[in-house]
Amino acid sequence: MMKVECTRLSSGLTVVTERMPHLESVALGVWIKSGSRNETVDEHGIAHLLEHMAFKGTRRRSARQIAEEIENVGGEVNAATSTETTSYYARVLKDHVPLAIDILADILTDSTFEEEELRREKHVILQEIGAADDTPDDVVFDRFAETAYRDQTVGRPILGTPETVMSFTPDQIRHYLGRNYTTDRMFIVAAGAVDHDTIVRQVQERFSTLPVTPLSPPVLDTARYTGGDGRETRDLMDAQVLLGFEGRAYHARDFYCSQILANILGGGMSSRLFQEVREHRGLCYSVYAFHWGFSDTGIFGIHAATGGENLPELMPVIIDELRKSSTSIEQQEIERARAQIRAQLLMGQESPAARAGQIARQMMLYGRPIPNEELMERLSGITIERLTDLAGRLFFDTAPTLSAIGPLEHLAPMSDILSSLNAGPAAVHALAG
């Protein structure tokens, strides 16, 4: 039987484990409630750079030794930076959990940030920025966030810019680390063949030098959704288009309702947008809806990839589907969305890495693990009336955000899109010309 146990150490560090008795391996990691959004104006990209530099050597291990020690036992180690979180994680067989904890503690408490390693890693990240800029479906999402949250850290690309990345010094990295990597913002989570008390003891021993209080107050400006129009014409085969609206924060009443609505509109092959836009009309090869939640805001979006010649017909069809969702949703669609979310939750429990990540997110957002039964109970209270009311407010009461890249000469101007959103069905058809 799987069991979640949680211990808060005297230092303020939280340790959470879930025993999965049928496994021989463990996924464990350190999650920090800090990401690119916690950077100052002149730190753009430093959260991601820190994630890279953590693996580039400590006082006990070189970068090569870090890689070799974990791979000598068949394990793996990696990290990721997002807008509001950063994670460092490992996957090992159960006998090698002490080694994984030791390596994670080493890179997070004793990294040296040597100048030569920093110089090399900066150039690696410059290549990463260049590769992202060459990938239109990456660019359109970056532009989307920048347009939705103009001139704010929450809307900035996580990678930073070539200029900011090249400017960083070891002291700047240490200052960001000391301001954000403190015990009250860090969670150590393990799932798989774990023994809770043993892991707690090992964490106490190896993470004892983590700072309890930040060097200076953490940075987090309140998000202000602005919306707007951000398009870039490029000589590409296809156009990448994102139409979005202000969504709901994690703690908002309509957060789960927004998740269900995104699923109904564009969450799979049976969704409204997929059936109408791709299957019935053949207007694009990819179309889906999504809802991102943050701590104090959210984004609801529709992404489509299509040939430029299809844009005059595509946008009216998408807007028409948004309008229909504000007046008519079927109970069967709600049940299908609930079933898909439930399946995702249960399938995630079959993967220790997915389960550890899920528990970590819940700890950072809600301060406790959320049982699947409780999540499903929240979803069960969502009605047709709530969904249609939410759709009306999401799509027609807030300023839209448009982001597009590719051959855009046939994409309607924002003024026409606004007019079609603010008027009745006749205006939608007029948008199509």
**pLDDT tens digits, residue range 183-203?**
999 999 999 999 999 999 999
Question: What pLDDT band is residue 218 in, cutting at 50, 70 and 90?
Answer: confident
Class of domain 3-206: alpha beta
pLDDT at 427 over 80: no
Give mean pLDDT, residues 199-209.
Answer: 96
Asked if 3-206 and 228-431 have one fold, the answer is yes
pLDDT at 327 over 90: yes
- What number of other Cβ atoms are within 10 A of residue 269's Cβ? 8
> What percent of the chain stands above pLDDT 90?
87
Given this model, what pLDDT does residue 429 score? 47
Q: By CB neighbour count within 10 A (0-12 exposed, 13-18 middle, 19+ buried), where does 14 fall?
A: buried
Given this model, what pLDDT does residue 346 score? 87
- For residues 90 and 432, the model is more confident at 90
**pLDDT per position as a tens digit, 261-298:** 999 999 999 999 999 999 999 999 999 999 999 999 99
pLDDT at 213 over 90: no
Least confident of 56-60, 274-278, 428-432: 428-432
Block residue for tokens 């490029």: 234
Give mean pLDDT, residues 159-177.
Answer: 97
**pLDDT per position as a tens digit, 81-115:** 999 999 999 999 999 999 999 999 999 999 999 99
Residue 18's nearest CA partner among 244, 206, 194, 177 is: 194
pLDDT at 432 over 80: no
Question: What pLDDT band is residue 425 in, cutting at 50, 70 and 90?
Answer: very low
- Packed helices 372-380 and 255-266: angle between N→C axes, nearest 10 degrees: 80
Give mean pLDDT, residues 288-315.
Answer: 96
246 is catalytic: no
Among residues 51, 69, 117, 246, which one is catalytic? 51
Give mean pLDDT, residues 382-396.
Answer: 95
Which sequence spans correspond to the domains of the chain?
Answer: 3-206, 228-431
User: Which tokens hold the place of 161?
Assistant: 């810019």
Given this model, what pLDDT does residue 216 score? 77
Give mean pLDDT, residues 379-403.
Answer: 94
What number does CATH give the domain 228-431?
Answer: 3.30.830.10
